[in-house]
Structure 1
Amino acid sequence: MIDAAAFEALKFQGDPLADAVVAELVSTNRVHVVNEVLEHFRTNDQPIPEQLPGVVREFLVATDDPPAWVDPDRVARAYEFFVDDGVHVASVLTFGAMVNCYAHARASRALTLTHGLNQPQRRLSETSQFVMNMMGRDAFGSGGSFVPTVQKTRLIHAAVRHFLTASGRWDVEADGVPICQQDMVGALLIFSVQVIDGMRRIGISVTEQEAQDYYYVWRAAGGMLGIPADAVPESVDEGRELSAAMVEAAYGPSPEGVVLTRHLLDLYEKLFPGKLFDGIVAAMVRRVVNPEVADWMEVPNSRAWGRVVDVGTRLMRTLERSEDNSALATTILDRAGALLLGGSVRNLTNGQSTTLTIPADLRERWEAEGRAPDLPDGKPATTPG
């Protein structure tokens, strides 16, 4: 596992390939041209647009392949896990992973300086779309859409680093570069091992094999994102150790984190009609994240709603144990997650310039098994094509 000194050095490492592209585009005033072209670059099989500047085309060619060690069988197993439990992954990502991201003061400050304090929809939409594309069938190969997602993400991060550093509002000497490799490792662990742990906290059964396979896909994604291979542990257990020793140890309170969390809670309280159930969202957050993090982020603490969530967790565990033998139990579990994801789609696409696109293969599997989320007018979330 990476040692403390090497992990600290990651604060000052960006993404040389993507950073060089953005520097060239800015110096030649061609950023807007690239934005317009890449908006329509969405699938792995799609030819690289001819009208792109040469420096961008070279970047897309150089970053087109997953790491050589990626095993398609393990990726396929992770896909099956996501078919079964993707809606629960979405639940924990919503209630826990985002708040854990906000508990990192440097990351919250970068988000605030980039997007402002009141845009949780954008951050959640981008993260959800990344995960959806990553967990689609053959995400790294023919028919998938994850490769351009990763490539665009790297360019966006490079643009943020460039403009935030140039703005004079970021102290590189004290804080490292914005969206540094240390931040990238932290985000990878939050969305992988911490999501698995959060699922287990709310009563969702995740086998060790499923946890290893889900983490494996995130490791592959990390390689495609340009994260140094030696910075990401090979096993989920080692990832959990690094998360506790380096990532969670850096959590703490910040004004930006508190405000970002409050806006996220406000967004998800809209899932429930009226004011009667407002406390349930905060109680779910407190169930998924560590109590100290919830306190730092000033997540409301209601004993009554906490007891409701405790009862619900015990019920979830009971239903999980009976899932193989009970069609009713399966229906309750799946629809609970689907309703949350459907609510996410409703809120994220309401007045937003982006939509949450569920890959066609995932939607087909979920629809066949009665798990697909619906929009309020009965229309499903969009699929490619």
Structure 2
Amino acid sequence: MDLSALMYEGDPPADAVIADLVGSGRTGEVNRVLAEFRGNDTPIPENLPPSVRDYLVATDSPPAWMDAERVARAHEFFLDDGVHVASVLSFGAMVNCYAQPRPSKVLTLTHRLNQPHRRLSETSQFVLDMMEPNAFGGGGGFVPTIQKTRLIHAAVRYFVSRSPEWDLETEGVPVCQQDLLGALLIFSVQVVEGMRRIGISVTDTEAEDYYHVWRVAGAVLGIREDAMPETFAEAEELSATMVRASYAPSPEGVELTRNLIALYEKFIPGKAFDGVVAAMVRQVVDPEVADWLEVPHSKGWTAAVRTGERLMRAFERGEDNNRVARAVLDKAGVLLLGASVRTLTNGQSTTLNVPACLRT
């Protein structure tokens, strides 16, 4: 497959819906209806334009090759190592996304440059819904999340592609198939790599299961199935050759990263510990990428973070056989994720719906 051609390909089903809604002026009405459409089992609302109802019906099923047992195992992996997944995703994957100049420019043109809470909360909701025990089946809420995300992407494509600041011929389609595939690999493969880099044990089976869930999600999200690698090893290779090759410095990436670090620093009372955020970012991303994005250096906090990682490794090694260690890590995960949810939703228009199985 010619991966470069994916730069010029969007998501036809979702794109057709947005074109119809913009043309008929019904976007506000549809947004109000879809706000109440949250569960896989929820009947598709009747009071929707035909184009929207047809789209929701056509996109509400996972691919036939989905392995329910692997999805269930990935849920158990997340319950066991959710704090590590959340940390590497927050400090590493989000920043790696900003190391891609084209997607960073899209975020700038959609006015998300100075709203990192919005992008982080949307990503957090996506991951929380994905890691429910039956994310794609009865009782879950992931499928409507994906369907709405596809429409958001389509809306961005519609308006950014018509902006005089975007050159379709040279820059391709905004939020194109290549961008979506790259984000998939960053949030799956590179999260596992980041966990292993800081000493967190992830077995080959856990890595394959975690990637499998993301691949299923990618299919429902409208990513071409023939573009997504089938195995974790193949995905690793594509991540190295396609995604990492796209990393480069950009003014937009620098500003996005600066705003993200400032947001994380709000999690920590006072100013004394602000340097630890940048140190965490530098610990889980490539040094060259961190330099491109102008992540601050802090020798003192870098040493402290490494010491903390050694302690976490010691706890993690004993977690399966030590109830005390498990209790400490589980409590740390609850505090981290709980603080993130409270901070992201405080006074903001975006709220996080935490699934009951993860809330406890």
Q: Report the counterpart of residue 105 of structure 1 in structure 2.
A: 101
- How is 1:213-362 mapped onto 2 (pairs within 5 angstroms)? 213-362=209-358
Q: 2:52 aligned with 1:56, yes or no?
A: yes
Please give the alpha-carbon distance, in whole angstroms, between the structure 1 residues aligned to 2:304 and 2:323.
Answer: 24
Q: What amino acid is the match of 1:99?
A: V
Instruction: Say whether the 8 Å CA contact 1:212–1:236 is kept in structure 2.
Output: yes
Per-residue Cα deviation, 1:222-271 (whole angstroms, up to 9, x for no partner): 10011111111111111111001000111011111101101110111112
Partner of 2:202: 206
Q: Scaled by the length of structure 2, what TM-score is found?
A: 0.98
SS at structure 1 position matched to 2:320? helix
- Mapping for residues 39-188 of structure 1, pairs under 5 Å: 39-188=35-184
- Partners of 2:223 and 2:112 in 1: CA distance: 26
Q: Check the 8 A contact 1:118/1:263 in 2, yes or no.
A: yes
Equivalenced residues, count: 360
Q: Is the 8 A contact 2:112 2:119 kept in 1?
A: no
Q: Residue 112 of structure 2 contacts residue 118 of structure 2 at CA under 8 Å; is this kept in 1?
A: no
Q: Residue 126 of structure 1: CA displacement? A: 0.2
In the TM superposition, what is the alpha-carbon distance from 1:361 to its structure 2 partner?
2.2
CA drift of 1:321 comes to 1.3
5+ residue gaps, structure 1: 368-385
Matched residues in 2 for 1:75 and 1:339: separation? 26
CA distances 1:21-65 after superposition (whole Å, capped 9, x unpaired) = 111111111111111110111001011100000011000000010
State the Cα deviation string for residues 145-195 of structure 1 (Å, max 9, x = none).
011111101111101100111222211111100000000000000000111
Displacement of 1:12: 0.3
Question: Within 1, Cα distance between the matches of 2:90 and 2:206?
Answer: 20
Shift of 1:116: 3.6
- 1:121-157 deviation line (CA, Å, top 9, x unaligned): 0000000100111110111111110111111011111
Aligned-residue CA RMSD (Å): 1.1
Measure how far apart 1:80 and its partner are. 0.9
SS of 1:73's partner is: helix
Q: Deviation of residue 20 (structure 1)? A: 0.7
Tell whether 2:11 aligns with 1:8: no
Q: Residue type of the partner of 1:325?
A: N
Could you tell me whether the CA contact under 8 Å between 1:100 and 1:190 is conserved in 2? yes
Q: Distance in 1 between matches of 2:278 and 2:234?
A: 30
User: Identity rate of aligned residues, in percent?
Assistant: 67
Maintained 8 Å contact 2:110/2:160: yes
Classify the secondary structure of the residue corresponding to 1:74.
helix
- CA distance, structure 2, for counterparts of residue 250 and residue 292 of structure 1: 13
Runs of 5+ unmatched residues, structure 2: none
Report if the CA contact (8 A) 2:208-2:232 is conserved.
yes
CA displacement 1:86-124 (0-9 Å, x = unmatched) = 222111111111100000000000011102421000000
2: distance between equivalents of 1:212 and 1:355?
31
- Where 2:351 maps in the other structure, the secondary structure is coil
In the TM superposition, what whole-angstrom CA distance separates every residue of 1:353-381 from its partner, at most 9, and x where no partner exists?
Answer: 12122111222xxx3xxxxxxxxxxxxxx
CA distance in 1, matches of 2:148, 2:113: 23
Question: Equivalents in 1 of 2:346, 2:75: separation in Å?
Answer: 29
